[in-house]
Homo-oligomer: A and B are copies of this chain.
Amino acid sequence: MCQLLGMNCNVPTDICFSFTGFQARGGGTDVHKDGWGIAFFEGKGVRVFLDPQPSATSAIAELVRHYPVRSLNVIAHIRKATQGAIGLENTHPFQRELWGRYWIFAHNGHLVDFFPEFNGEFMPVGQTDSERAFCWLLQSLRRRFGATLPEEAPLFAALHELTLEMTASGQCNYLLSWGESLIAHCSTRLACIERKAPFAPAHLKDQDVSVDFQEVTHPDDRVAVIATTPLTDNEDWRILTPGTLCLFRDGSLVREAATAAGPASPLTGNA
């Protein structure tokens, strides 16, 4: 299984600390050696760093770790290839434009026989089920909403429906953002934490690195971090129930919906 990392904040924040632990999982403390990537939204723009090399030994990952890009929404991915060869065109996260916004998507899981029909508006470049899922999501959103980015509530409801449809084909833990909010879907495994005042020290699980967030934050800061498994060993991460779709905005989980029968909460919009 691949590794996902997302961040959503209310003020532009760098992800250097979390990325330090995450990076180690790509060929260091874990086996995900088949490339990695990270996307930073800055205003309406987005920067995507992709590398088919293992993140633990990647020169580009070293740059990202030491270069504090401040962003409201970040999506990163470390790949363990299941569908599609190792190569740049199969390296997540994927990027497209819709409604004059860049959209970024990273996926972990396995969609079986997922070959939706494409009308040509969003076509996969590589061979992964993940990129097919992304193109199908965007095609479906445009079909539903036409020419304009909808409000958050109907957009979330549409993503909920589409995710339900997609999960019928298999596992799809995913992160999605268009620069404003961040969507996280836990199909099998995903954890999150919302950091806010009072801030405390945190210690990475994958490397012996600590940071005292109180020293580097303002009391109003809010930062949500989402990862396949918790990145720190001294904080209270929430392990998401399989079958949960979340929308994070301004560093807080503001919408949540169930995508599987069971103990997950029903569709709510506590915005």
Chain A interface residues toward B at CB < 8 A? 42-52, 59-60, 63, 67, 87-91, 95-102, 120-126, 142, 146-147
- Given A42-B88, A43-B87, A44-B126, output 5 extra A-B contacts at Cβ < 8 Å: A42-B52, A44-B89, A46-B88, A59-B67, A120-B142
Complex contact A50–B45 (CB within 8 A): yes
Please name 17 pairs of A and B residues whose Cβ atoms are closer than 8 Å in the assembled complex, sorted by A: A43-B87, A44-B88, A45-B88, A45-B90, A45-B125, A47-B51, A47-B88, A59-B63, A59-B67, A60-B63, A60-B67, A63-B63, A95-B95, A97-B125, A100-B123, A120-B142, A120-B146
Chain A contact surface mostly: mixed
- Chain B residues positioned under 8 Å from A44 (CB to CB): 88-89, 125-126
Query: What B residues does A96 contact at CB under 8 A?
Result: 97
CB contact under 8 A between A121 and B124, given known A43-B88, A88-B43: no
Q: In angstroms, how far is the closest chain B Cβ from the Cβ of A105? A: 13
Assess whether A102 is in contact with B121, with CB atoms less than 8 Å apart: no
B residues within 8 A CB of A124?
100
Bound-complex Cα distance A59 to B50 (A): 16
Contact between chains at B50 and A47 (CB < 8 Å) = yes
Q: Are B45 and A89 in contact (CB under 8 A)?
A: yes
